[in-house]
């Protein structure tokens, strides 16, 4: 358990370091965003918005499907995987929103008039919540089913969600990077946490307290 707590601490420190670097490299951040957003092919805006909007339903449908199948068919591993993904998404949401309102970074279009978003959000910018959920989901299923035909499409989708947030002018690149770290780190934490709990449960079954 101490290793898991240590990992969580390192993730928080890395993310805070990114935030610090972002604040000192604002020019680079906005220039990268402009290179993606300002000269974009606007005919792709609808498709990119569709990718963005897929983050929440896909991220919740996957663990819901796992749990439903696990309980209907009495497959314990599917139930474990479903709850592990739920834990990863919950952790990513708590950390992400805690950072959003703790750091309270303005959206790029609030500071730069040449950034015209597809639509306007009112919550803070750092980190990207859509990217966080997408990478939490992709990392969870990749850890549970470590096959190339699971990992590749999972991360291609998560990466597309992150890119779409910049294409649409909703987030800085550093917001997306931080969201990816929060999401992936939360999933790894949930995965290791579940392994620790299962091992502890097995030890308790083998050595019951009299």
Q: What's the pLDDT tens digit per position in 95-114?
A: 999 999 999 999 999 989 99
CA 11 to chain centre: 13
Higher-pLDDT residue of 162, 119: 162
Tell me what the mean pLDDT of segment 197-206 comes to: 68
pTM for the model stands at 0.83
Tens-digit pLDDT profile for residues 170-199? 999 999 999 999 999 999 999 888 887 777
| Least confident residue range of 12-21, 39-48, 146-155 | 12-21
pLDDT of residue 14: 53
**CATH dotted code for 2-16+49-198:** 1.10.606.20
Q: Which residues lie below 8 Å from residue 125, measured CB to CB, with a gap of 6+?
A: 100, 105, 106, 107, 108, 170, 171, 172, 175
Provide the 3-class DSSP secondary structure of residue 29: helix
The pair of three-digit structure tokens given for residue 26, joined into one six-digit string: 């604002």
């Amino acid at each position: 358990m101490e290793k898991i707590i240590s990992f969580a601490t390192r993730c928080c420190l890395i993310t805070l370091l990114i935030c610090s670097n972002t604040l000192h490299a604002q020019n680079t951040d906005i220039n990268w965003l402009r290179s993606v957003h300002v000269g974009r092919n606007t005919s792709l805006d609808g498709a990119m918005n569709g990718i963005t909007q897929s983050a929440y339903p896909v991220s919740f449908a996957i663990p819901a499907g796992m749990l439903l199948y696990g309980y209907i068919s009495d497959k314990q591993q599917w139930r474990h995987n479903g709850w592990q993904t739920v834990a990863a998404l919950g952790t990513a949401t708590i950390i992400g929103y805690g950072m959003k309102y703790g750091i309270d970074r303005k959206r790029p279009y609030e500071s730069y008039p040449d950034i015209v978003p597809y639509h306007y959000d009112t919550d803070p910018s750092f980190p990207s919540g859509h990217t966080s959920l997408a990478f939490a989901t992709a990392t969870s299923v990749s850890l549970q089913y470590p096959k190339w035909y699971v990992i590749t499409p999972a991360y291609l989708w998560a990466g597309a969600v992150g890119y779409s947030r910049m294409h649409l002018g909703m987030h800085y690149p550093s917001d997306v990077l931080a969201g990816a770290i929060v999401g992936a780190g939360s999933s790894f934490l949930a995965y290791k946490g579940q392994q620790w709990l299962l091992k502890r449960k097995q030890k308790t079954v083998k050595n019951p307290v009299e």
